[in-house]
Amino acid sequence: MTHIEDTQSEELDIIFQDKFLIAVHKPAGLLVHKSPIDKHETRYAMKILRDQIGQWVYPAHRLDKPTSGLLLFALHKDIASQLSAAFEQRLISKTYQAIVRGYTHEHGDIDHPLKEIAVFKHLQKQVEKKAPKDARTQYERLTCYELPYSDGRFPSSRYSHIQLRPETGRKHQIRRHLKHISHPIIGDVKYGKGEHNRLFNEHLNSQRLLLAATQLSFTHPATEQTLNLSCPLEENFQNCLASLDQYRPQV
């Protein structure tokens, strides 16, 4: 039997577009571009957007596959180079939201160097010899919750909804930093806690990484205007927050 590929076109929500840039809302579970690590994946944001607007696009930065939110592309190669340089020089302000285990401090500044992550196993020893690079993430707590369900250690379970601003751009920086301060992100199968991921799955029907890119602020490389882009939380993230609302501690 001949396999017939589903030709139904997929589209991404466009947050901003001009003749130089385009910003979209990337759903959780979608790759930014083709990756040798996920060879089986045929869906990725770069291809979907290219087909959607009929024009080649250049990714200006990356979001992890399980992270949703604001993703910026350039429509010209030179603009992409300028944006990449701006990200590297920390001239672009990035804001994220996450739900994490435990009650965090009201404000925090995580200053913890991170080692490079090897893309392939055969490069691991080579990468491990390198010194860690500086990495810094600021956060503030928006809300906290106490759920009447045991995580296996305590009769109830506590969580925080936080906003984060990474000042550097190391791979998996936010996820690794939150693990470092013992507040891992819910739904993180690599750096998180299985008992809390399962609790959210069972009681809140949440199976995703609860991390989303929500804002980008930067100077437009062509017009030199200040751009403040914002992206709503994906529906499944919003539904999770709505379910959590009943568990806010009574003041």
Q: Can you give 73-113 as a three-state secondary structure string?
A: EECCHHHHHHHHHHHHCCCCEEEEEEEEECCCCCEEEEECC
> % helix / strand / coil in the chain, to the nearest 5?
25, 30, 45
Name the band, by pLDDT with cuts 50, 70 and 90, for residue 17. Answer: very high
Euclidean distance between CA atoms 246 and 230, whole angstroms: 27
Contact between 199 and 226 (Cβ < 8 Å) = no
The average pLDDT across 230-244 equals: 97
The average pLDDT across 38-66 equals: 90
Averaged pLDDT of the chain: 91
Euclidean distance between CA atoms 165 and 155, whole angstroms: 33
* Residue 225 identity: Q
Q: Fill in the DSSP letter of residue 218.
A: E
Contact between 79 and 221 (Cβ < 8 Å) = yes
* CA quadruple 218, 174, 208, 154: dihedral sign: negative
**What would you report as the CA-atom Rg of the chain, rounded to the nearest whole angstrom?**
19
- Per-residue pLDDT at 7: 40
Predicted confidence (pLDDT) at residue 67 exceeds the cutoff of 70: yes
- Contacts with 11 (C-beta within 8 Å, 6 or more apart), sequence order: 48, 52
Closest CA to 139 of 172, 171, 94: 94
Angle between helices 194-204 and 235-244 (to 10 degrees): 90
Q: What is the pLDDT of residues 108-123, one digit of tens each?
A: 999 999 987 756 455 5
* Residue 119 identity: V
Q: Is 64 annotated in the active site?
A: yes
The model's pTM? 0.91
Contact between 235 and 247 (Cβ < 8 Å) = no
* Choice among 13, 38, 64, 111 that is catalytic: 64
- Tokens 């250049």 label which residue? 58
Exposed/middle/buried for 29, CB within 10 Å: 0-12, 13-18, 19+? middle
Percent of the chain clearing pLDDT 90 (strictly above): 81
